[in-house]
Amino acid sequence: MKKEKSIDMLSGPLAGKLILFALPIAFSSMLQQLFNAADTSVVGYFENADALAAVGTNGEIVALLVTISAGLSVGANVMIAAAIGENKKEQIPDILHTALSFSLLLGILLALTGQFLSGPLLTLIQTPATVLTAATTYLRIYFAGLPFLMLYDFGSAILRAKGDSRRPFLALTASGFLNVLLNLFLVVVCHLGVAGVAIATDIATAFSAALVLFWLYREPEEFHTNFRNLRIHGKQLLHMLSIGVPSAVQGAVFCFANIFVQASVNSFGTIATAGSTIAMNFEYFGYYMITAFGQTATTFTSQNFAARKKDRCTRVFLLCLLFCILFSSLIIVPLTVFREWFCHLFSNDSAVIRAACTRIMLILFFEPVCGLYEVPAGVLRGRGHSALPAALTVIGTCLLRILWIFTVFRHFHTLESLFVVFPVSWGVTILLMAGGVFLYRKDLAEQPTC
C-alpha cells in the first residue's frame, strides 16, 4: 500500500513520473488560489464592486502569505528527500516533528501579529478609503487562519518528499468544495459579506490541514507522526531554515514587488482595482503550473543528487523545463483567447472587464516564459544552493519592478506602462538565472560520482 502512494524518484523512466508528481502540486496550488477566487466571484455577484475591490486589494498580501508558507516548507521537503536519497531514514522523525512544530508556532505568531498589521498594511498600499474597513476585516480574519495554512503546507511538503503528491491534492480538493459551499451560505444566506468569505476560507484551510495531519499520523515507520513528540530540534531547524528561507524569499519578492504594483493600480480607482483582481486570479493559475514543475525539479533533484545520480539530475532539469512551458501554455492560451468570457465569470461590469483584459494581454500572455527561471531555481535548491536563486530573483524581479514604478511609470502614468514591467522583469531574471546555473554547473562537475 505504501508503494502505491509514493513515486520512486531514483530509478525507472522519468517523464511520466515528473508529470504525475507535478500535476497534483499544480492543482493543489490552484485550489488554494480558488479559495480567494471563489471569494471574489461570490462577492462580485452577490455584493457590489466595493466588496469585490475589498477582497481584491488583499490579493497580493494573501499571495505573499501563501508564498512564504509554501517557500519555508521547501526546507523540510529537501531535507527529507535528501535523507531518502542518502538512505539515512533514521533522521526523518526529527526533521518531521521539527517541521510541524515550527509551522504551528510560526503560524500562531503571524496570526496574532496580523491583527495589528492588517490596517496599516492596507493603508500602505493605498487601499481606496471606500473599501478600507471591509478590506481590513477580511485580512484580519484571513490572518487568523494562518496556523492551519502553515500546517497544511509543511505536512504536504513531508508527504511530497517521499513521492506522495496525490493526497495533498485530495485534501485541497475536498476543502475547495467546502469553501465554495461555505461562501454561498455565509454570504447569500447569512449576509456576512466580506467577513463571510474570509471565515469560509479559514474553515476550509483548517479542514485540509486536519486531513494531512491525520494521514501523517497513520503513516508507518519513520513517517509516523506522534504528536507527543512534537518539538523543535535546533540543528534540524537551522538546516531547514537555511534552505526554506531563501526559497520563501524568492517567492515572496514577486508578491512584495507586486504589492507596490497593487498600490499603483489602486491609484486608478475602484474599477481598475476590481479589473486587476480578476486578471490576477488567472495569472496565479498559470503560474502555479510553472512553480509546480519548479518544486518537482527540487524534489527529484534532491533525491537523485544525494544518491549521486547526476545524469538523472540533468534529465530532470530538461524534462521539467519542457513540461513547465507546455503545461502552463495549455492553461494560459485559452484564458488569453477567451479572456472576455472568463472575466464575465467574475463581473458583469463592462469597465471592470476592460481593465481586466488589459492586464491579461500585457502579463498573462507572456507568463509561460517564467518556467525558464523557475525550473533552474528549483534545480539549484535541490542541489543545496538556495541563496543564489533567491538573490537573483530579488534583483531581476523585485528591485527592477520597484525601480520601474518610480521611473518609467511616474512619467507614463497609465495601466499599460505599469503592467509591461512584468514581462520585462521576467526577461531580466531569466538571463540572471542562466548565469547562475552556468557558474554552479562548473563547480558541480568537479564532484565525484559513485
Q: pLDDT per residue over 308-321, tens digit each?
A: 888 888 899 999 99
Higher pLDDT, 46 or 411: 411
Asked whether residue 210 carries a pLDDT value surpassing 90, the answer given is: yes
Angle at 110 between CA 266 and CA 72, to 5 degrees: 95
pLDDT at position 269 is 82
As for how many domains the chain has, the answer is 1
The reply to whether 52 falls in a domain is yes
- Direct distance between the N- and C-terminal alpha carbons of the chain, in angstroms, rounded to an integer: 31
The Cα–Cα gap between 399 and 257 comes to 8
Q: How far is residue 289 from each of residues 19, 20, 109, 188, 417, measured CA to CA in Å?
A: 11, 13, 30, 32, 27
Q: Cβ of 131: how many Cβ atoms within 10 Å?
A: 26
* Cell numbers describing residue 58: 488583499
Is the pLDDT assigned to residue 291 strictly greater than 80?
yes
Q: Evaluate whether residue 301 is within a structural domain.
A: yes
DSSP string of 392-448, one letter each residue: HHIIIIIIHHHHHHHTHHHHS-SHHHHHTHHHHHHHHHHHHHHHHHHHHHHHHHTS-
449 part of a folded domain: no
Closest CA relative to residue 392, chosen from 240, 245, 243, 246: 246
Q: How much is the average pLDDT of 84-99?
A: 86
User: Is residue 363 a part of any domain in this protein?
Assistant: yes
pLDDT at 359 over 70: yes
180 Ramachandran zone, left/alpha/beta (phi>0; psi -120 to 50): alpha
Question: What gap in Å lies between CA 212 and CA 84, rounded to an integer?
Answer: 20
- What's CA 105's distance to the chain center, in Å? 20
Residue 133 falls within a domain, yes or no?
yes
pLDDT value, residue 34: 66
**Among the listed residues 124, 127, 122, the one whose alpha carbon sits nearest the alpha carbon of residue 273:** 127
* Residue at 5 is within a domain: no
Helices 166-184/146-161 angle, 10° precision: 160
What span, in angstroms and rounded, lies between the C-alpha atoms of 444 and 450? 14
The predicted model scores a pTM of 0.76
Distances (CA, A) of 14 to 181, 286, 445: 39, 23, 22
Report the alpha-carbon angle 222-223-227, nearest 5: 105
DSSP letters of 86-153? Answer: TT-GGGHHHHHHHHHHHHHHHHHHHHHHHHHHHHHHHHHTT--TTTHHHHHHHHHHHHHTHHHHHHHH
Domain membership of residue 6 (yes or no) is no
The residue-averaged pLDDT of 16-39 equals: 77
What pLDDT does residue 87 have?
83
Say what the pLDDT of residue 330 is: 93
**Are 240 and 75 a contacting pair, CB within 8 Å?**
yes
Kindly give, in sequence order, each residue whose CB lies less than 8 Å from that of residue 208, ignoring residues fewer than 6 positions away: 148, 152, 171, 172, 174, 175
Provide the domain limits for residue 314.
11-444
Query: How confident is residue 245, by pLDDT bands cut at 50, 70 and 90?
Result: confident
Q: Does 47 map to a domain?
A: yes
Q: Which residue has the higher pLDDT, 13 or 2?
A: 13
Least confident of 108-117, 184-193, 411-420: 184-193
Please tell me the distance from the alpha carbon of residue 429 to that of residue 135, in angstroms, as a whole number.
33
